[in-house]
Amino acid sequence: MGISGAAFIAGAYEHPLRVIPDKSVAQVHAEVAAGALADAGLSFSDVDGYFCAGDAPGMGGIGMADYMGLKLKHTDSTETGGSSYLVHVGHAMEAIHAGKIKVALVTLAGLPRQASANLQMGVTDTPEGGFENVFGPTIHGMYALAAKRHMHEYGTTSEQLAWIRVAASTHAQYNPNAMFQNVVTVEDVINSPMVSDPLHRLDCCVISDGGGAVVIVSPDVAKGLERHSIKVLGHGEAPKHSDNGKIDLTYTGAAWSGPAAFDEAKLTPKDIQYASIYDSFTITVLEQIEDLGFCEKGKGGEFVADGGLISPTGRLPFNTDGGGLTNNHPVNRGGMTKILEAVRQLRGEAHPAVQVPNCELALAHGTGGSIGTRMGSATLVLGRD
Amino acid sequence: MTEATAPVMPAPAPIVNPENKPFWDATVEGRLVLPKCQNCGSINWYPRVFCPECGKFGVDWIDAAGTGTIYTFAITRRGMGAYGKAGPYVLAYVELDEGPRIMTNIVDCDVDSINIGDKVRVVFHDTGSGSALPRFTPVS
Ligand SMILES: [Zn+2]
């Protein structure tokens, strides 16, 4: 079963700025929406479905629908943190397949650099909050918990994790919009200050203002557009939580969302030529690469080492825009930019230095929340039609 | 380099609600209690009156041994919020002898000398607001 190919990504747009001192959050949402619609050759009046997550101001999608003047038949404000936007693409495909809508708009935007970014988890009366927040779980601390356990069980090293940053920075030198365009070495990463042992500063992603948007359309609409649309071949999503005190920090929800997406696409990891892998931290990439089936569980360290992720020569070309580690991680939510670079690769529009030759099949994967406690996870398999 | 954990760790108060009040009330008395399902006997975490194993409501609050082992840990060099001035501190999951892996801190230790698998026992840090935080210290 499944609805492989029932929808196409017709428009994609990434905000060019990483620091935006002079705009409102709603304005940036509307700017990226306008960018993605223009890319598709469509306009605001064509949109009949709108998808957004917790970064959108207002109640669900209604506030931004008001701002942008959208006349809608369908809204979806599913919130799974940074993975939300990949979930939205899957849900948009479902709504399109069901005949509810023809043109879906998905936006992400925010300005975390314009307020003092507080990475401490908020103390709210969630059922688990009192048993976690009081112990000072910073975001980097929670990912460090996973890194430490992965190292303990599988012998993964800081040097292997550093290779992930090296690959990302190697790609970022070709992206004029990237926040950090300097190529770093394994030594640079290892010698950067410890943030939460065993994670160093260069194991962590950037914090950027900005955003991005995609436009998802029905096959009929795609046929009428001049722009090259990208086929959504498979979608999988899966929350992973603390499992009643049996939490296991050596794997992520990708272990479930990945196989679901591959099943729908009737493809396997071996078919994938390019992968956008969520990279809030280097350890996030390592665990997800294993969970998605690109290598055996526990062998991620060897897989990523020695340029394993560097495009186009590595074992698995990844995050050729520089990813969240070096290019852009708008509003601490890296899912949208994962879709955008996969679309560029499939259109043959990545930078020539990092373009995968004849890229026909790509994967985009997102995580949300924290791999140290509970997380969203979503995988898309995409193809050039 | 040897760094002890902050001599006085911050002890921010949790939000106590009617469902988890028996847990926090016990901490003030220096007891670590766990919810045991009255239907299936599962010992659950985090504390709640619902059992996610069998889907029934109703638990007995049993006394835990207060001992366990370190499942994983991270040395956070600079915290945020209440932990902004804590200095290096250890965030951890401890696997209790009763089974559950719980988030906590490892305290009263040399942060550079602890290891996964180390045996630890519970200590309580009073928040001053009707609760005490269950933290753990290495058993020598
Ligand atoms: Zn039960």
Partner-chain contact B99 A247, CB within 8 Å? no
Q: Is the pLDDT of residue B3 over 60?
A: no
Partner-chain contact B48 A127, CB within 8 Å? yes
Proportion of chain A above pLDDT 90, given as a percent? 96
Q: Which two tokens stand for residue B65?
A: 């041994």
Average pLDDT over residues A45-49: 98
Question: How many folded domains does chain B comprise?
Answer: 1
Q: What does the pLDDT read at residue A232?
A: 98
Residue A312 carries which side chain, given as an amino acid letter?
A: P
Report pLDDT digits (tens) over B91-132. 999 999 999 999 999 999 999 899 999 999 999 999 999 999
Q: Give B67 to chain A, closest Cα distance, Å.
A: 15
Q: Which two tokens stand for residue B128?
A: 């001053």
What is the enclosing helix (H) or strand (E) of A195? strand A194-197
Q: Does the residue B53 lie in any domain?
A: yes
Residue matched to tokens 């955003």: A211
Residue B42 carries which side chain, given as an amino acid letter?
A: S
Q: Are A144 and B77 in contact (CB under 8 A)?
A: no
Report pLDDT digits (tens) over B35-91. 999 999 999 999 999 999 999 999 999 999 999 999 999 999 989 889 998 889 999
Q: Is residue B57 packed enough to be buried (19+ CB in 10 Å), middle (13-18) or exposed (0-12)?
A: exposed
Q: Is A58 helix (H, G, I), strand (E, B) or coil?
A: coil
d(CA A296, CA A213): 34
Residues paired with residue A107 on neighbouring β-strands, in sequence order: A213
Helix A254-265 with A282-291: angle, nearest 10 deg? 50
Partner-chain contact B101 A140, CB within 8 Å? no
Helix A282-291 with A158-172: angle, nearest 10 deg? 100
In DSSP notation, A71-111 reads --SEEE---BTBTHHHHHHHHHHHHHHTTS-SEEEEEEEE-
pLDDT band for position B1 (cuts 50, 70, 90): very low
Report pLDDT digits (tens) over A106-155. 999 999 998 743 444 444 678 998 999 999 999 999 999 999 999 999 99
DSSP structural state of residue A138: B
Q: Is residue B129 packed enough to be buried (19+ CB in 10 Å), middle (13-18) or exposed (0-12)?
A: middle
pLDDT band for position A162 (cuts 50, 70, 90): very high
* Distance between start and end Cα atoms, chain B: 21
**Half-sphere exposure (CA, 13 Å, Cβ side) for A260?**
17
Partner-chain contact A136 B53, CB within 8 Å? no
Residue spans in chain A of domains classed CATH 3.40.47.10: 8-115+209-230, 130-207+235-384
Residues 6+ apart with CB under 8 A from A375: A81, A83, A239, A240, A241, A252, A253, A367, A368, A369
* Distance between start and end Cα atoms, chain A: 20
Q: What are the phi and psi torsion angles at B10 (to 5°)?
A: -60, 150
Q: Cα–Cα–Cα angle for A241, A78, A119, nearest 5°? A: 60
Residues of chain A contacting residue B44, judged by C-beta atoms under 8 Å apart: 244-245
Q: Is residue B82 packed enough to be buried (19+ CB in 10 Å), middle (13-18) or exposed (0-12)?
A: middle
- Across chain A, what does the average pLDDT equal? 96
Q: Does the residue B8 lie in any domain?
A: no
d(CA A335, CA A278): 7
Q: What are the phi and psi torsion angles at A133 (to 5°)?
A: -60, -30
Report pLDDT digits (tens) over A295-333. 999 999 999 999 999 999 999 999 999 999 999 999 999
Question: Which CATH number fits the domain A130-207+235-384, given the four candidates 3.40.47.10, 1.20.200.10, 3.40.50.300, 3.40.50.740?
Answer: 3.40.47.10
Q: Are B130 and B28 in contact (CB under 8 A)?
A: yes
Q: What are the phi and psi torsion angles at A207 (to 5°)?
A: -115, 115
In A174-243, where does DSSP find H-type helix?
186-191, 219-223
Q: Does the residue B79 lie in any domain?
A: yes
Q: Does the residue B11 lie in any domain?
A: no
Q: Is B106 helix (H, G, I), strand (E, B) or coil?
A: strand
Range of lowest pLDDT (A47-56, A212-221, A240-249, B76-85)? B76-85
Q: Is the pLDDT of residue B4 over 60?
A: no
Give the residue on B whose Cα is nearest the Cα of A197: B75
Q: Are A282 and A325 in contact (CB under 8 A)?
A: yes
Partner-chain contact A245 B12, CB within 8 Å? no
Q: Are A164 and A282 in contact (CB under 8 A)?
A: yes
Q: Give B89 to chain A, closest Cα distance, Å.
A: 9
Closest among A15, A14, A39, A32 to A68, alpha carbons compared: A32
Residues of chain B contacting residue A129, judged by C-beta atoms under 8 Å apart: 14-15
User: What is the domain-level CATH number for residue B133?
Assistant: 2.40.50.840
Beta strands at A274-277 and A361-369: parallel, antiparallel or unpaired: parallel
Extended strands (E) in chain B: 33-37, 59-63, 67-76, 89-96, 101-106, 119-126, 132-138
d(CA A152, CA A150): 5
Residues of chain A contacting residue B18, judged by C-beta atoms under 8 Å apart: none
Q: Are A304 and A160 in contact (CB under 8 A)?
A: yes
What is the enclosing helix (H) or strand (E) of A8? strand A8-14
Q: Give A9 to chain B, closest Cα distance, Å.
A: 39
User: How would you label A120-150 residue by residue, b for 16+ Cβ within 10 Å and e otherwise?
Assistant: bbebeeeebbbbbbbbbbbbbbbbbbbbbbb
Q: What are the phi and psi torsion angles at A162 (to 5°)?
A: -60, -30
Superfamily the domain A8-115+209-230 falls into: Thiolase/Chalcone synthase (3.40.47.10)
Report pLDDT digits (tens) over A180-229. 999 999 999 999 999 999 999 999 999 999 999 999 999 999 999 999 99
Q: Are A110 and A232 in contact (CB under 8 A)?
A: no
Q: Are A119 and A139 in contact (CB under 8 A)?
A: yes
Q: Give A164 to chain B, closest Cα distance, Å.
A: 20
Report pLDDT digits (tens) over A252-278. 999 999 999 999 999 999 999 999 999
Q: What does the pLDDT read at residue B2?
A: 43
Report pLDDT digits (tens) over A335-362. 999 999 999 999 999 999 999 999 999 9
Q: What does the pLDDT read at residue A117?
A: 38
| Domain encompassing residue B100 | 21-138
